[in-house]
Amino acid sequence: MLIRHKSPLDIQPSEITSKSVYRDRRRFLATAAFAGIGATFAPLIGPASIALAAAGTKGRKLEGVIPGPFATDEDKTPYEDITAYNNFYEFGTGKTDPARKAHTLMPMPWKVKVDGAAGKPGVYDYDDLIRPHKLEERIYRMRCVEAWSMVVPWVGIPLADIIKRLEPAANAKFVAFETLVDPKQMPGQRFGALNWPYVEGLRMDEAMNPLTILAVGLYGEEMPNQNGAPIRLVVPWKYGFKSIKSIVRIQFVEEMPPTTWNMAAPREYGFYSNVNPTVNHPRWSQAKERRIGDFLKRKTLPFNGYAEQVADLYAGMDLSKFY
């Protein structure tokens, strides 16, 4: 993502964290933060995971979760890493800001506004939107545009099931999503690192693809705040920034909707943002990635390894143009 200067008002990790935890965090960051922009050597991060465990708050167990399709059998990234190394600019631009600051987010009660070309528009409580559906575990590879990756056991429901219930009209060609705006809950919104609200969008066929889910938890537990409680999108064949967090609005629209990173830096981030090892980011290669916790880099796969499920969606499109 863009490299931005931190506000001097931001509290430094060293101010609120014990020295040993802070030191281990720095080692963790040394490994992972710039994995995609040329780091060739980095320390192993095992001990950091243990230290970071202290930073994560465990959520409540989700009941009735069934195994879903498409689970990868690769090793899952530890809970402590998934919940301690995040991008969530509403809480600051640093990777450890969300874990330290997202306790101010209040994920319940939660409402989602559905509007645009929908047969069933309205303001839905979390319970109305989510509870009618079975929760599935979806163990997905996730690839960040910064060239690091994780394997996350999400809990969620196919977005297609929800969309069908909302009855989009025939002219609904895209689905647009918005994150909450509330600087009291999201202190990073007092600064202009990005334009708020964070917005994202999918073409309707991407939104309806069986891989796309609205996630409400991970590792069988409620979604931690820093990962986008209570509801976030997960689109595993696209770079992580498409997976918008803490969603409060779903809108069905005819035209391609604006998206946050495309507005911030159009040359660097397109609407589609499919994981593509052959199209480099203007400032770094996308050919390889570092799985958090690994020493060596691995090759990035087209569509993040989900080509069989999604390549058809882009048949005939020049993916270097529609990046």
**Which residues contact ligand MTE (rule: CB under 6 A)?**
1, 86-90, 144, 179, 198, 227, 240-241, 243-246
**Tell me, what amino acid is at 106?**
M
Alpha-carbon distance of 47 to 38, in angstroms, equals 23
SS3 118: strand
Report in angstroms how near the CB of residue 247 gets to ligand MTE at its nearest: 8
Alpha-carbon distance of 253 to 33, in angstroms, equals 36
Report in angstroms how near the CB of residue 19 gets to ligand MTE at its nearest: 25
Nearer to ligand MTE, 28 or 88 (CB): 88
Nearer to ligand MTE, 208 or 218 (CB): 218
Report in angstroms how near the CB of residue 14 gets to ligand MTE at its nearest: 22
Which alpha helices (DSSP H) does the chain contain, by range?
Answer: 13-16, 19-32, 46-53, 79-82, 97-101, 126-130, 159-166, 204-208, 260-264, 307-310
Report in angstroms how near the CB of residue 232 gets to ligand MTE at its nearest: 7
Alpha-carbon distance of 64 to 83, in angstroms, equals 23
Report in angstroms how near the CB of residue 180 gets to ligand MTE at its nearest: 8
Nearer to ligand MTE, 18 or 104 (CB): 104
Which regions of 37-145 does DSSP assign to beta strands (E)?
65-67, 111-116, 122-125, 135-143
Contacts of 246 (CB under 8 A, 6+ apart): 90, 105, 107, 179, 180, 228, 229, 230, 231, 232
Contact yes or no for 211/236 (Cβ under 8 A)? yes
Comparing every residue's Cβ against ligand MTE, the nearest one is 240
Alpha-carbon distance of 180 to 237, in angstroms, equals 25
* Partners of residue 116 on adjacent β-strands: 252
Nearer to ligand MTE, 72 or 119 (CB): 72
Nearer to ligand MTE, 252 or 269 (CB): 269
Report in angstroms how near the CB of residue 98 gets to ligand MTE at its nearest: 7
Nearer to ligand MTE, 92 or 158 (CB): 92
Nearer to ligand MTE, 169 or 263 (CB): 263
Nearer to ligand MTE, 154 or 314 (CB): 154
Alpha-carbon distance of 223 to 120, in angstroms, equals 26
Report in angstroms how near the CB of residue 99 gets to ligand MTE at its nearest: 9
Name the token pair of 103: 């306790």
Contact yes or no for 59/108 (Cβ under 8 A)? no
Report in angstroms how near the CB of residue 292 gets to ligand MTE at its nearest: 9
